[in-house]
Amino acid sequence: MNLLRGIILTTKKELNDYFGSPLVYILTGLFNAIIGWLFFNYIVSAKNLTLLNLSHSVLIPLFGNINFLFLFLVPLLSMKLFSEEKKHQTLDLLFLSHLNQTQIIFSKFLAGLFISLFILSWTIVFPIILGFSGYNDWGLVISSYLGLVFSIITYLWVGLFCSSLTENPIISALTTFCFLLGMMLMVLTVNATHIEILNTFFQYLSSPFHYESFSRGSIKSYNLVYIFSFSLFFYFLTSKSLESRRW
Amino acid sequence: MTKEFAQIKAVTNMTFSVKKGSIHGFLGPNGSGKSTTMKMICGLLVPSSGEVLVEGLKLETHFDQLKRSIGFLPENPPLYQSMKVKEYIKFVAGIRGVPRSKVKKRVETILTQCGLEKVMGRRIGNLSLGYTQKVGVAQALVHDPEVVLLDEPTRGLDPEAVDEMRKLIMELKGERTLLLSSHLLNEVQNLCSEITIIKEGKVIQNGSLSEIRSLFQQQRSFKVEVRKFNEDIFKAFRVKFGESLNLNYEKKNEQKSEEYLLNLKMPKTDDYRSEVCHFLVEKNCELLSFREESIGVEEIFRLATAEGILKENALKESVL
């Protein structure tokens, strides 16, 4: 079967499911309301509205908060991707179809990514508002968005894997959230020990560390290697988890 | 094949074959391993040992090729509740590899064949159980598979819906090879030429329905309708045939008191039909009908799944 046709069909079905449920609209509204409120507060509390100050006092913390909020959003968006299929035994339908396992996993991933980007896309309003006031450091904005997209990709892979483990969407969301939060807290704990080699190792494993490089506008090759290897590792785990249903 | 789940054997050394183009009944009590076996046959579960062959090809090694020719309706049909019927069938046709140019025609054909035209615009979640099962069958047939596995297609259906489902299955006879699991044994009797009976994950009977019937039927049983039968004739019958034939009689209808129904049982080895007819005519009885009653699948199933048969078969195997 045409590789692309299979992915398009399943992704389209997933997107219809997403947009057919109120969850996405509620999450989009809630998320943007929080970000809007934070943006307003950062603007009000900024002492001087200079170019440098706007970047450091408004946009960098705002993007940091967006990244943090996605830690809560992605588990909710990814929770049903496989668990619901397992619960209603529709996963068997996909396995017996002409789609191979990679196509199934990627179509789910693309649907999750599309929805996350849909929610994120509304936040572009805030830099544009600053742009009307003369703000023009668009390199930082683009780099931060790139960092957010890569963070969302890593969160989604964890979400996909956790969703493939259970038939219960709530358990899937909680497991994803615990894993992502654990990844963040692990770095803080290791930092407290002041053991440099451990610090470096665990920092590398943690997604927020790599996001920081993007938000500073200094993207390193190892950031890209991390995202690629992280995705590959969780793709492998998801694949094995789905395969185990046949064992 | 054998299938173990966490040291529990769901299926043990199960071997049976299904003839091409036939409807094969797959029977067994609840929890006997029917669904597990069906899932192994369509490749959704991998046997712990053994193999499944479809047209001589190993399923495990040719799964991608063979899954194209298998249609499966599990016990709980795999349906997306939020989708509309036509939209769902179109989606399944797409992922099942029906060429894009043929999808529209194929979807329309299958909707008509399964009697779903009336509900094609309705959401699956709002359908009755009968229609839900039909949508399940439609998804199993939409890619025109050669082998179709139907796990309890009549489960929970009312008699009218069962009748419609039977008609639908009968339409498939000859075109495709069908493996049908059902609790409605009369349905199996009407539809299937061959059956496999399993219990506790083991095959206890396998073969054509007539072979299995003769195996379980210890005596031939006849129903004879006569007029002018009485107690004297009954006594004369017992004197003439003695212990070889077992006869009892009852008045067929109170108002037409002349009509009697005789239940006659004779050994499989001897044929007394001619002698019985002559005897009744000699005694001036009017013979209205004389028909043989064959053992039903229900009786076969009851006998086969009874504890004793399993032990008896095991004994036979050990002797052989």
Instruction: Quick: pLDDT tens for B218-249.
Output: 677 888 888 888 888 888 888 888 877 888 88
Q: Write out residues in chain A with pLDDT < 70, as ranges.
A: 1-3, 47-52
Rounded Cα gap, residues B117 and B114, in angstroms: 8
By CB atoms closer than 10 A (0-12, 13-18, 19+), residue A59 is buried
Asked if B118 and B84 count as a contact pair (C-beta separation under 8 A), the reply is no
- The answer to whether A5 contacts B139, with C-beta atoms less than 8 Å apart, is no
How much is the pLDDT for B313? 52
Q: Is the pLDDT of residue B319 over 50?
A: no
What is the share, in percent, of chain B residues with pLDDT greater than 90? 15
- Nearest CB among A10, A90, A92 relative to B44 is that of A92
Name the interface residues of B facing A (CB cutoff 8 Å).
39, 42-46, 64, 67-68, 70, 72, 74, 76, 78-83, 91-92, 94-97, 100, 139
- The answer to whether B67 contacts A10, with C-beta atoms less than 8 Å apart, is no
Size of interface A-B (CB pairs under 8 A): 62
How much is the pLDDT for B256? 59
- Nearest CB among B39, B43, B96 relative to A98 is that of B96
How much is the pLDDT for A116? 95
How much is the pLDDT for B254? 63
Q: Which amino acid is located at A142 in the chain?
A: I
- The answer to whether A10 contacts B44, with C-beta atoms less than 8 Å apart, is no
Q: What is the DSSP string of B213-262?
A: HHHH-SEEEEEEEEES--HHHHHHHHHHHTTSSEEEEEES-SSSTTEEEE
How much is the pLDDT for B61? 85
Rounded Cα gap, residues A220 and A224, in angstroms: 7
Rounded Cα gap, residues A7 and A114, in angstroms: 13
How much is the pLDDT for A122? 94
> Measured between beta carbons, which residues in chain A are less than 8 angstroms from residue B68?
98
Q: How many residues does chain A have?
A: 247
How much is the pLDDT for B72? 92
Q: Smallest CA–CA separation between A136 and chain B, in Å? A: 46
Q: Token pair for residue B300?
A: 């076969």
Rounded Cα gap, residues A204 and A207, in angstroms: 8
Asked if A42 and A61 count as a contact pair (C-beta separation under 8 A), the reply is yes
Which residue of B41, B83, B95, B141 is the best one to mutate when testing the A interface, meaning the one whose CB has the most A CBs within 10 A? Answer: B95
Give the three-class secondary structure for B313.
helix
> Measured between beta carbons, which residues in chain B are less than 8 angstroms from residue A93?
78, 92, 95, 139
Helix A101-121 crosses helix A22-45 at what angle (to 10 degrees)? Answer: 40
Give the three-class secondary structure for B10.
strand
- The answer to whether A13 contacts B80, with C-beta atoms less than 8 Å apart, is yes
Which of B77, B123, B98, B91 shows the shortest CA–CA distance to A14? B91
Asked if B221 and B293 count as a contact pair (C-beta separation under 8 A), the reply is yes
Quote ipTM for the complex.
Answer: 0.84
Q: Token pair for residue A236?
A: 């492998």
- The answer to whether A92 contacts B74, with C-beta atoms less than 8 Å apart, is yes
Q: Token pair for residue B176?
A: 């495709």
Which of B118, B190, B200 shows the shortest CA–CA distance to B154? B190
What is the share, in percent, of chain B residues with pLDDT greater than 70? 91
Domain B3-214 has CATH 3.40.50.300: yes
- The answer to whether A96 contacts B42, with C-beta atoms less than 8 Å apart, is yes
Rounded Cα gap, residues B245 and B268, in angstroms: 11
Rounded Cα gap, residues A162 and A74, in angstroms: 12
For CATH 3.30.70.2040, list the domain ranges present in chain B. Answer: 218-293
Using the Cβ of A92 and the Cβ atoms of chain B, whether some distance falls under 8 Å is answered with yes
- The answer to whether B80 contacts A1, with C-beta atoms less than 8 Å apart, is no
Asked if B79 and B136 count as a contact pair (C-beta separation under 8 A), the reply is yes
Rg (CA), chain B: 25
Residues 94-153 of A with CB under 8 A from B: 94-100
- Nearest CB among A5, A91, A247 relative to B46 is that of A247
How much is the pLDDT for B320? 41
* Cα-to-chain-centroid distance, residue B49: 27
> Measured between beta carbons, which residues in chain A are less than 8 angstroms from residue B92?
93, 97
Partners of B3 in the β-ladder: B11
For CATH 3.40.50.300, list the domain ranges present in chain B. Answer: 3-214
Q: What is the DSSP string of B90-112?
A: HHHHHHTT--HHHHHHHHHHHHH
Rounded Cα gap, residues A215 and A125, in angstroms: 18
Q: Three-class SS string for chain A?
A: CCHHHHHHHHHHHHHHHHHHCHHHHHHHHHHHHHHHHHHHHHHHHCCCCCHHHHHHHHHHHHHHHHHHHHHHHHHHHHCHHHHHHHHCCCHHHHHHCCCCHHHHHHHHHHHHHHHHHHHHHHHHHHHHHHHHCCCCCHHHHHHHHHHHHHHHHHHHHHHHHHHHHCCCHHHHHHHHHHHHHHHHHHHHHHHHHCCHHHHHHHHHHCHHHHHHHHHCCCCCHHHHHHHHHHHHHHHHHHHHHHHHHHC
> Measured between beta carbons, which residues in chain B are less than 8 angstroms from residue A88?
76, 78-81
Q: Token pair for residue B25?
A: 């009944």
Q: Token pair for residue A116?
A: 């996350």
- Nearest CB among A98, A245, A246 relative to B95 is that of A98
CATH of region B218-293 = 3.30.70.2040
- The answer to whether B92 contacts A93, with C-beta atoms less than 8 Å apart, is yes
Q: H-helix or E-strand containing B269?
A: none
- The answer to whether A97 contacts B92, with C-beta atoms less than 8 Å apart, is yes
Tokens 């934070």 correspond to what residue?
Answer: A38
pLDDT per residue over B111-151, tens digit each?
Answer: 988 888 889 999 999 998 888 989 999 999 998 898 999 98
> Measured between beta carbons, which residues in chain A are less than 8 angstroms from residue B42?
96
Q: Token pair for residue B13?
A: 């050394």
Q: How many helices (H) and strands (E) does chain B have?
A: 12, 14
Rounded Cα gap, residues B10 and B15, in angstroms: 14
pLDDT per residue over B57-91, tens digit each?
Answer: 888 888 888 888 899 999 889 999 989 999 999 99
Tokens 């358990």 correspond to what residue?
Answer: A171
Q: Smallest CA–CA separation between B139 and chain A, in Å? A: 9
Asked if B310 and B199 count as a contact pair (C-beta separation under 8 A), the reply is yes
